[in-house]
Structure 1
Amino acid sequence: MDGMDLTCGHFVNPFTDIGFKIIFGQPASKELLITLLNELLSGEHRITNLIFLDKENHSDSMADAGIIYDLYCLTDTGEYIIVEMQNRFHSSFLDRTLFYMCRAIGRQVENLREKRKKERELRMDGHDAEEDDFLLKEPMQENYGTRYRLSTVYGIFLMNFREPGLEEKFRTDTVIADRENGRVVNPHFRQIFLQFPYFTRELKECETLYDKLIYTLKNMQHWNRMPDALKEQVFSRLEELAAVANLSMEDRIAYDKALDRYRVSRIVEEDAREAGWKKGLEEGRAEGRAEGRAEIQIAIARNLKALGMNNEQIAKTTGLREEDIEGL
């Protein structure tokens, strides 16, 4: 993924917000998402069905640049799953994933309280309403311990960058465990981090469906068709969903805009790397971090200007003064 590809390929780029949503975040792609999650959780848990919940954090906004797309799901057996694609590095990414996980856990108590309130209202009204089996499965128990009984929350974080806080490898699994012996203390908090730059296998080296799915997500935006070696049914479905030619007019317009944002993001990252910003950040020097941020804002301004945005819009996006932008 190093370097820029300015062509519009046959398949959507999954590292764009709309591209990821098209592949995994719509009702038609639910089975594809279930397949990916089951491959990630193989030997640990198997999902047979899930529903999409409202996202707690909307990530497709200029104010939260670099965050790609969140999926928030509930399985038919009561587990919550957060799936997020993160395009580029930011200094508090691991803290943010922890915040998302803790918030999802805290929301379980709030949701149970709202469910019980609704049930009481239905009984008082004399209704015999049918409720979704996903959302109404816990008994009406009011004891103190039951109030804090948790369902498992899985956080799946697909990362198009190298995170300094993690080991230099593709997959990192975290649990709450005893530091001395590694025994899992609480099984309800699980995180899986996937650093795509460390996945370097060629297709001929991918023997499992899991490896083939990861290889496809990393490389599909460069393809004109699915390779013959990807014979499983899941790739036929992926080929159908991800084909740019199959997008609705609305999705195509949104995707083109998302692809422009993605390209600007990659240009900014390359400019920042050339300016030594990453080196200053890794060495922890405050001066280096400040200079890196300034270089990034200037690089963003230059690229947005090249894309045709006016100085006022660029100033609002970058925080730079309009007179400084004029001289770029």
Structure 2
Amino acid sequence: MLPIGRFIDPFTDFGFKRLFGSEPNKDLLIDFLNQIMGEEKQIVDLTYNQTEHFGHSDENRKVIFDLLCTGSNGEQFIIEMQRIRQEYFKDRSLYYTSSLITQQAPKGGPKWNYHLKPVYLIGLMDFSFDETHSEQYLHRVQLMKSDTFEIFYDKLGFVFIEIPKFLKKGNELHSELDNWLFLLKNMSRLDKIPVFLRKPVFSKLFNIAEVSNLTGKEKMAYDESLKIKWDNYNGMDYAVKQERAAALREGKEESQKQIALAMKKKGMEISLIQELTGLSKNEIEKL
């Protein structure tokens, strides 16, 4: 039986799309994105776009986004929720934004002056890139000059948020973005709405997130989404443990070989070295 709390888990496909992926709830997504993008790039309205895209020809690889939206000024936002570490997540993010940029080119027709609309990718990560900069959970990435650090091109941007590194408690939240990140990280573990989150936008979100408000069909979909999430985590955990065990075995074997080599140099019999180290005769003779 899966552990199910009062509120849905935003880091499931069902939970993420229920909170942010439908027209009646787009005010939630707009508020969240505005906190991420900052005052210079405030979003007034959004239109949801289809999440499956193809290249200019049938042979081009298909791209499927978690969420894709267009702002009132034509800017496009890819919102990706990534549960487990992926080796080429940065590469995939660049590929996704590049695919939207190339699709802006008109097919045939008049000459085109290459004027592009902005493209941004928001990556909500339930893992960390690595263990460096342990306190830095928010990464804003743009093209800039390497010598002066001035922005070179402001119509392509990435924001990566490493949720596991966000460690602030309720009394340490100092911004609306802090509130959002605290909520996303802790929602599935809460049994009541914290006082500091009792604001209209969050009241609506908690109401949508109430597991008891799900229909029978929605509850089944959520259960399946949870199962997939935990299966993925368990599979990853098992793989990590296997890698660690293999590394330990490799280290032990290497250590035994070093001991055997030292014994061999001292002129000890091969049979005795075999008995003491567990290595085969062939392995010892190759040392």
Q: TM-score range by the shorter chain?
A: 0.7 to 0.9
Partner of 1:46 in structure 2?
A: 42
* Unmatched 5+ stretches in structure 1: 59-67, 117-141, 281-328
User: What is the letter of the counterpart of residue 140 of structure 2?
Assistant: D
User: What is the letter of the counterpart of residue 46 of structure 1?
Assistant: Q
Give the whole-Å Cα distance in 1 for the aligned partners of 2:148 and 2:236: 40
Partner of 2:123 in structure 1?
A: 157
1:91 aligns with 2:87: yes
1:104 aligns with 2:100: yes
The counterpart of 1:75, out of the listed 56, 71, 74, is 71
Residues 69, 98 of structure 1: alpha-carbon distance in 2 compared, 3 angstrom cutoff: closer
Q: CA RMSD in A?
A: 2.4
- Determine helix, strand or coil for the equivalent of 2:41: coil
Residue deviations 1:186-208 (CA, integer Å, cap 9, x gap)? 11110000011110100110121
Give the whole-Å Cα distance in 2 for the aligned partners of 1:82 and 1:231: 28
Partner of 2:262 in structure 1?
A: none
Contact 2:51 2:65 (8 Å CA) reproduced: no
Residue deviations 1:123-179 (CA, integer Å, cap 9, x gap)? xxxxxxxxxxxxxxxxxxx4442xx11010010000000113985420111101111
Partner of 1:21 in structure 2?
A: 17
Partner of 1:191 in structure 2?
A: 158
Q: Could you say which structure has the larger radius of gyration? A: 2
Partner of 1:236 in structure 2?
A: 203
Identity of aligned residues (%): 30
Written as runs of structure 1 = structure 2, the 5 A alignment for 1:143-154 is: 143-145=111-113, 148-154=114-120
Contact 2:65 2:78 (8 Å CA) reproduced: no
Residue deviations 1:15-73 (CA, integer Å, cap 9, x gap)? 10011000100112100000000000112201110110001369xxxxxxxxx971100
Give the whole-Å Cα distance in 2 for the aligned partners of 1:52 and 1:167: 35
Shift, 1:274, TM fit:
2.6
Partner of 2:217 in structure 1?
A: 250
* Unmatched 5+ stretches in structure 2: 55-63, 248-287
The counterpart of 1:173, out of the listed 140, 152, 156, is 140
Partner of 2:192 in structure 1?
A: 225
Out of 248-257 and 84-93, give the one that drifted further. 248-257
Shift, 1:277, TM fit:
5.4
Give the whole-Å Cα distance in 2 for the aligned partners of 1:143 and 1:57: 24
Partner of 1:8 in structure 2?
A: 4
Contact 2:105 2:112 (8 Å CA) reproduced: no
User: What is the letter of the counterpart of residue 21 of structure 1?
Assistant: K
Shift, 1:269, TM fit:
2.4
- Report how many aligned residue pairs link the two structures: 237
Give the whole-Å Cα distance in 2 for the aligned partners of 1:269 and 1:223: 26
- Determine helix, strand or coil for the equivalent of 2:222: helix
Give the whole-Å Cα distance in 2 for the aligned partners of 1:279 and 1:43: 50
The two structures have a TM-score, normalised by structure 2, of: 0.77
1:32 aligns with 2:28: yes
- Determine helix, strand or coil for the equivalent of 1:150: coil
Residues 279, 214 of structure 1: alpha-carbon distance in 2 compared, 3 angstrom cutoff: farther
Give the whole-Å Cα distance in 1 for the aligned partners of 2:129 and 2:7: 27
